[in-house]
Structure 1
């Protein structure tokens, strides 16, 4: 089976199940996808990443997702990096961004909001509704922490005197926890 946009979305959702299994199950039902198809997409993406014949880095995303909706350059410290973004049907208001260094090595991959972050109200923090930049724009006292698994990210912030941790997978908001 060819690996394309739909399978890529499923591979992303496979990792999102770590923090939002119910949301992923709802999406699978809406897409008419079984858990077996979800697992197969994840296995295919993983196999491609480790195959000596499959495209690597930047080229892997282009091979799977086609031409990007946006291409540009961005400075990251002393490096000038290539940036590409793709629109994905399951997240129509967002784009999946890949940041690649010299030689096409992928440095970061996650969802972004085209045009930058929007500041959500606390009550608007619902799964799959925002990205890391949105939380940065909406709340003061933001701190960034690595997540406990690959492609996980945590953003700490304070709201009405209480410290919270917003949990993200691939830069897409999954859930909110009170900081302990």
Structure 2
């Protein structure tokens, strides 16, 4: 679809290939599809995007990550998304890292955050709520509306667990005497199960 890939101020180009905000969102959704295919299909319809475009965005982002001349780390995110509207600093252990955040059209009210080390390498990247964690009820745990920090703030005893694949996390938490597992991709809630 000519022109579509240049949506957003942060459309980067490498050897004739364009990768911007739309493609970045699709690349994230490709990973989210692991856990919530129905929600991704709905988002594709809303965007007017095809499954082939979703696959190509993922493949393109992967190629850029391995291309010797392509930007890496924070530079790659800036290439796709433009300059970060929010920049800050945060201590992590004995080091201080840069914090960069971008709003993305498909996830209003949330922002995509990257924590970067001194050399610009990305240590973590996931969705956050810029105003801080929200207090949620069990009924509020709707896919794509809450982030990892929300669960910790809303359910005493919540325990964060590394997920089985890159960019996957889980949070186990008690509710009405039952333990549930909220599963996340890039820090964004995808599905609720029982462990």
**TM-score, with normalisation over the residues of structure 1?**
0.98
Q: Distance in 1 between matches of 2:38 and 2:85?
A: 30
Deviations 1:141-165 (A, max 9, x none): 0111111111000011101111111
Alignment of 1:27-46 (within 5 A): 27-46=43-62
Give the Cα–Cα distance (whole angstroms) in 2 for the partners of residues 69 and 113 of structure 1. 14
Residues 122-133 of structure 1 correspond to what in structure 2 (within 5 A)?
122-133=138-149
Q: Give the RMSD, CA atoms, in angstroms.
A: 0.7
The answer to whether structure 1 residue 85 and structure 2 residue 95 are counterparts is no
1:141 — aligned with what? 157
Distance 1:89 1:69 in 2: 14
Per-residue Cα deviation, 1:37-57 (whole angstroms, up to 9, x for no partner): 000000000000011100011
CA-CA distance at 1:102 after TM superposition: 1.2
Corresponding residue number in structure 2 for 1:10: 26
1:13: how far off?
0.1
Q: What is the CA distance between 1:116 and its match in structure 2?
A: 0.8
Q: Does 1:22 find its partner at 2:38?
A: yes
- Distance, in Å, in 2 between the alignment partners of 1:102 and 1:178 is 40
Structure 2 equivalent of residue 95 of structure 1? 111
Q: What are structure 2's unaligned runs of at least 5 residues?
A: 1-16
Structure 1 residue 81 displacement after superposition: 0.1
Q: Give the CA deviation at 1:178.
A: 0.9
Measured against aligned partners, the alpha-carbon deviations of 1:38-90 in whole angstroms (never above 9, x if no partner) come to 00000000000011100011111011100112000000000100000001000
Distance 2:158 2:121 in 1: 29
Compare the two structures and name the one with the higher helix fraction: 1
Residue segments in structure 1 that go unaligned for 5+ positions in a row: none
State the alpha-carbon separation in 2 of the partners of residues 132 and 56 from structure 1.
26
Q: Does 1:49 align with 2:65?
A: yes
- Give the Cα–Cα distance (whole angstroms) in 2 for the partners of residues 129 and 120 of structure 1: 11
- Distance in 1, matches of 2:110 and 2:85, equals 11
Cα distance in 2 for partners of 1:123, 1:115 equals 21
Q: Take 1:93 and 1:28, find their aligned partners in 2: how far apart are those partners?
A: 19
Q: How far apart in 2 are the matches of 1:33 and 1:5? A: 13
